[in-house]
Structure formats: structure tokens, C-alpha cells
Amino acid sequence: MFRKRAFYLCLFAALSLAVLACGDDDKTDAASTPTPTPEVQRATTTPTVAPTLTATATPTAAPTPTATPTPAPTQAPPVATQAPTQAVVQQPPPQPQATQAPAPVVTQAPPPPPPPPAPTTASVTIDNLAFLPGSVTVTVGSTVVWRNGDQFPHDVTADGGGFGSNTLQRGDTFSTTFSSAGTFTYMCTIHPSMHGTIVVN
């Protein structure tokens, strides 16, 4: 590339010199030529070709690349990094949890037994050689009253001797109270065919 450029520069310089030389010759010939007569022929000048200069390019030695020493990497001294101090978060003391006392279990008491029926008074009429009614049901503590309405005398005597009356004339009464439950049978000792029953609940 360098040689071509040198060659072209030399060729351009030679051509420039040739052109300048031709111009000077034309001026000289014009000054020395006498005034032509009407029939004087125009002089023809032959341009002189300047010798061609051949530019010889001198080879220039290419610069030898110089090895640039690569600097050895400098090792940075280790930097001691201090581990971050872990912040100690003090936990608040545990608060005692309020334990809820179990709700008291309400035990429902069994309902009280129904009160015993109130004592009553039952009546038995002695008439026509019979106890009317022949069977009476009462509660504990009740009283049974016998009244003789017959024209004959009668008595009231319990089987087994639990209770008994004297001889009852027409219009007389006899009563007894039953303090315990059970079935009690009775009769008239004057007329053994007459019987009656008292049921106590």
C-alpha cells in the first residue's frame, strides 16, 4: 500500500512538470515568431514529451512489534469483613394465661315424690243385713265411719282383731283410722254372714 502511494505521487509530479514545460515553450515561440503575412502558414509546434520518471519505492522495513509486558495482576489484600452482629431480641416474659375455671355442673335434683293424698273420710252404711259398700279404698291416714241404719243390731269386728266396735243399735256409728297400708277384712259377729273389706293405699 505504501509503495503504490509513493509511485502515484512520483507519477503525478512528473506529469505536472511536463505540463509546466509545455506552457513555457508555447510562450517563447509566440514571442519570437514575426508577424505573419497573410499567406504565412501557422507554425506547428510539436510538444516535447518529458521523460517519464519511474519512481522506485524503497522498501521500508515493517516495524517489529514490540511485546508489551503484561503487568502481573496485583492481588488485593483480603479485607477482613466482620460478620454482622446479630441483634439479640429479648423476648418478653410469658404472661400467665388465665385458666378459665370449669363451669360448675348443675346436677338437677330428682323431683320430690308427689305428696301423699290427703286423708279422707269414707262412710259405710249397715242396712238390710249388709255393709254398703262392701269394699272401700282409702289412703293412709283416712278414717272409715260405719253407721247402722238397719232395724237389727250389728257390730264391726276386724278379722284377726285389728279393730272392733260395740253393738250398734239403729242410728249408732263407729269409726276407725287406718295409719298403714294394707287390706283389712271385717265382719259382723252377730250376723256372721255379713262381711266387708277396707283397702288402704
Cis peptide before 133 (omega within 30 of 0): yes
The cell for 167 is 253393738
Q: How many residues does the chain have?
A: 201
**CB atoms near residue 48 (< 10 Å):** 10
How confident is the model at residue 21, as a pLDDT? 67
Per-residue pLDDT tens listing for the chain (201 residues): 666 777 777 788 888 777 776 655 555 454 445 454 544 445 444 544 444 544 444 555 555 555 565 655 566 666 656 665 666 667 777 776 767 777 778 788 888 888 777 889 999 999 999 999 999 999 999 999 999 999 999 999 999 889 999 999 999 999 999 999 999 999 999 999 999 999 999
* Cα angle 14, 17, 21; round to 5: 140
Query: How far, rounded to the nearest angstrom, does the alpha carbon of residue 48 sit from its chain's CA centroid?
Result: 113
CA dihedral in degrees (136, 125, 144, 186; nearest 10)?
-70
Query: How far, rounded to the nearest angstrom, does the alpha carbon of residue 108 sit from its chain's CA centroid?
Result: 40
All structural domains of the chain: 1-33+49-58 (no CATH), 121-200 (2.60.40.420)
pTM above threshold 0.85: no
